[in-house]
Copies of this chain bind each other. A is one copy, B any other.
Amino acid sequence: MANMNSALLALADPTRRAVFERVARAPAPVSDIAKGLPVSRPAVSQHLKVLKEAGLVVDHADGARRIYRIDPRGLGPLRAWLDQFWGAALDAFAADLEAQELETHAKDDKDDEHD
């Protein structure tokens, strides 16, 4: 998949996000990742599978172990989606909100309005 939807779904779970952040700090085998987490090793394997299918991590064999590392490119679609609302929308929001609040106040304080 590796689209914005799968990345969002993957990162929404706190445990899985902890796995992602751990892998982001340094590449590590599954057992090491599970060491610092309050869930079992198979649970970590399942989380890594979801992260991998979302394009957020990559793995490679190292003997009997599998080393997982972050793939920051998987965050690209999500970041692009966010930027849709971040730039111009932020400025527009401030102006719109202010104008809207002025209207609301004018309606609320109708006993105090003049002109």
Q: Which chain A residues have a beta carbon within 8 Å of chain B's beta carbons?
A: 2, 5, 8-9, 11-12, 14, 17, 24, 27, 55, 58-61, 67, 69-73, 75, 78-79, 82, 84-86, 89-90, 93, 96-97, 100-101, 104, 110-111, 113, 115
Contacts and interface: CB of A to CB of B under 8 A. Distances in A.
Classify the secondary structure of A's interface with B. helix
B110 A61 contact: yes
Given A60-B104, A100-B60, A85 B111 contact: no
B14 A58 contact: no
A84 B84 CA distance: 19
B85 A72 contact: yes
A72 B55 contact: no
